[in-house]
Amino acid sequence: MQVLGLLDWLIIAVVLVGIVLTGLYLARRGSENVESYFISGRSLPWYIAGTSMLATEFASDTPLWITNLVRQYGIHYVWQYWAILIGAVLAAVYFGRLWRRLSIVTDVEMLEVRYSGRMAGVLRGWSGALMVAFACPLFSAWVTKAMVITSQQTMGLPPEYSLVLTAIVIAAAILLCTLSGLFGVVYTDFFLFFIATIGTVVFAWMSVNAVGGLDAMVTQLQGMEQWQGNSLSILPSIGSGFGQMSVWNAIGYFCILWIVLANSGGARAQRLLACRDTEQASLSMLMFAIIYYGALAWPWIIVALCSLILLPDLGVADQAAAYPQMIVTVLPAGLRGLLVAALMAAFVSTMSTIFNWGSSYVVNDIYKRFVRPQASPRSLLMVARAATVLIGVFGAVISFWAEDIQQLLSIHFVVASAGVVIIALRWLWWRMNAAGELAGVITMWALSALLLFGKVFDGAATAALGLAPGVEFSADPNLLGARMVFVTGTVTLVSVLVALCTAPTDMGLLRQFAHKARPFALFWQPVIRTMTGDYQEIESIGRTLLSWVIGLVAVVSLLFGIGELLLGDAGMGIVWMAIFCVATWWSVRRIREDFIKEQACL
């Protein structure tokens, strides 16, 4: 079935060619040395870094995932996505600044800045290798999976041709990344994000028109007795009923998963490290939190709601495919091409980030650190480009193997949550050491493999939790939070015990780390007492907690304000928006005050 016309294909071609030309234009500036290739010479302003984070997270899989959640359970289940905003705001007011103060190249490099001895080197190499071999390909896999689904549904292509088209788009991302490094990635992200956002907003508007307007949409949805989300409630619904978020999952999302984003490792750390200073890093993270969690999901949600009216008969396995099917159903020629190009833009921005981020580990934390410490900038760039291609291939293999996007996300949620506490303890507790963290990392991967693939804990969990026959602890979607609690608790316990039973990190290195990063003084007193001069906290615990609350009010008020304006009481929506404006102004002001204090202290 041919669903795209000549104009559509021309729009798609223009976007792809524009991506490659951008890489060529920025090739010289982005390939001067390792710092320019991986962290843009630490020159990014907040709006470029923030937009790049937005473009990276707005992947081609995200609208499909949100559509699946809304169609199956209702808007309230999107808190699986929204819950992480808690950590995004904490990163904006605290952890993001700590990363920037270290002035390193990758988050893994921090391990030898924070820990001492041979064990720290082993931990750095091990962590870098695992990120390259598992995390980066996994991330690229679920994004690739979504791109294949989109191309099949919107272009009428058989599976083999969809794979070819996806490979062409991946090739564009690889060219962008290999030619110009992070410079090309972030500045292309700036434009790709606007293409993607405009496309999805237009799509949502035309979807609403197709069902007769917002009022007609709300009336029809509320009359769907068989759909669990017919109340159109935005608040999370927690319980044991069908369509509700289980208590275990609520614990996992609201108590554990958000800490992953608060720690801000990986690609987010790369953007923060590339900012001009800590003020720009904080503002970029605040911008990301407000737009991504407060506003960006609403166009996807609206399309998902309209799809329930226009495409009511899709099977359970096809719920995610409703989003690309709506493109064909709602949009005319030309606009179809714009929306497909928008999703491709989101795909390219995410993939190019993953490629650049993954290759930074290969170069900075494996090749340069352990293989050729004296390697020339030219040889390092060659290794980076080769690593980019390999990561793309590994991701494609995992994508072919995986059943669906939700399966990959569930694996990621369990593995990512396992080490969140020990990663936070790097900053917050002086006594955490390399031996403790390495023990935690080994436990994390071994435990996750035994739990998710070996299913060795199913029997014990059935007895301990009183599970019904046929309910698997290792796979049941309502027990995802229980799996997260299990691995997080076990890994944290092992790490802390090993750290306490082994020698602490060298005190001289700890003093250097504390002087540079300026963590909270409360759990660093044994180190601070050995430092010459007064130790000045740049952010106190009390001030940080207040800034955190203000930032949360800003994001949540925007989320509820847009929701009320679209689906509920317009007057209440205006009140929420007024609260958002005040809280955002106050957050920005406090960030700038903290930066002025930092300049005086450092």
Rounded mean pLDDT, 237-244: 81
The percentage of the chain sitting over the pLDDT mark of 90, rounded to a whole number, equals 41
Give the integer Cα–Cα distance in Å for 301 and 346: 17
Mean pLDDT of 585-594: 96
Q: Give pLDDT tens digits for 288-323.
A: 999 999 999 999 999 999 999 999 887 665 677 788
Q: Which tops the pLDDT comparison, 541 or 228? A: 541
pLDDT tens digits for 27-52? 555 555 566 666 667 888 999 999 98
Q: Flag whether pLDDT at 195 surpasses 60.
A: yes
Question: Measured between alpha carbons, how far is 487 from 489 in angstroms, rounded to an integer?
Answer: 6
Give the mean pLDDT of the chain.
84
Q: What's the pLDDT score for residue 357?
A: 76
First to last CA, the chain: 64
Interatomic CA distance for residues 252 and 175, integer angstroms: 38
pLDDT tops 50 at residue 225: yes
> Residue 315's CB: how many other CB atoms inside 10 A?
7
- CA 131 vs. chain centroid, Å, equals 15
**Dist CA 236 CA 245 (whole Å):** 7
pLDDT digits (tens, 9 = 90+) for 467-517: 888 888 888 888 989 999 999 999 999 999 999 999 999 999 999 999 999
Q: Residue range 178-190: average pLDDT? A: 69
pLDDT at 60 over 90: no
Higher pLDDT pick, 17 / 258: 258
Q: Is the pLDDT of residue 1 over 50?
A: no
Look at 336 and 90; give whichever has higher pLDDT: 90
Query: How far is Cα 175 from Cα 389, in angstroms, rounded to an integer?
Result: 10
> Which stretch of 129-143, 237-251, 373-387, 449-463 has the lowest confidence by average pLDDT?
129-143
Position 520 pLDDT exceeds 80: yes
Instruction: Compute the distance between CA of residue 63 and CA of residue 350 in angstroms, rounded to an integer.
Output: 14
Output the DSSP codes for 328-395. Answer: HHHPPTTHHHHHHHHHHHHHHHHHHHHHHHHHHIIIIIIIIIII-TT--HHHHHHHHHHHHHHHHHHH
Copy the structure tokens of residue 127: 């962590």
